[in-house]
Amino acid sequence: MLSPYGKNEWLTIAAIGLLLMIASLVAGLWWLVLIILPATAAGLLFFRDPNRKTPSQRGAVIAPADGRVSSIHQVEHFEPFNGPATCIRIFLSVLDVHINRSPCHGQVTSITHKPGDHKNALNPASAETNESNLIVLVHPIRLQPLAAVRQVAGLLARTIACGVHEGDVVQRGQRIGMIKLGSTTELYLPADLEPKVAVQQGQKVYAGLTVVATVTSKDQPEPQPESVETHEQPAPAQADPQPARSAPR
């Protein structure tokens, strides 16, 4: 399945590939099709969006992105939480699935886009200076901060698609956006939830599948019973997400 977050891109790739193959056949250069076809397929794979069954155990916080854990560190003061937080940073290569998923059940209380650079994501400084989009989740009733997902653009990943809006209630594992062509995703957990990190630096994680931490606070809301099945379905057609902002290509 191809993600609607990258619909314009994968339709363009498919159309160009098809036209090139037709032109090659008309010109009698059939052997070019053997090059164009796999190249087109590789381009489409950048926008793949597999269905996944999210773990449902109480207190589990799941990875918001596919990739490799590049850093686990403490933040003394994370402004959206008004207090300390644990940050789990995930690096996405161009070969990873680029879909972002909600780490827990909660309500979107704010979405903050920050313009910035487009440095190589392999440079640790890029996480601080590059263009980013921060999604903060709170308890739907108590409004207590639960988690924040920060989508960070990179050298090639210059379009951040955000598929949620302020006020939306999302389920654990639900699709919430996409960083096209890789880069970095950060997960922040407030210290008052006493997060216990369940992954190590360098470990490979998968969005919607890998439990990256557990929280022990009794204020942590649990997903609705239908949540596991709900996010197994393709992203809603009406979402037609708009990029948080796209830097010029």
From the candidates 132, 183, 227, 246, which is the catalytic residue? 183
Strand order across the 145-152 sheet: 169-170, 106-114, 132-138, 145-152, 183-190, 83-92, 67-78, 204-205
Distance (Å, whole) CA 92 – CA 213: 19
Q: Quick one: which of 187, 4, 16 has its CA closest to 98?
A: 4
Residues 6+ apart with CB under 8 A from 63: 90, 101, 103, 187, 199, 205, 206, 207, 208, 209, 210, 211, 212
Does residue 246 have an active-site annotation? no
Provide the annotated active-site residues: 183
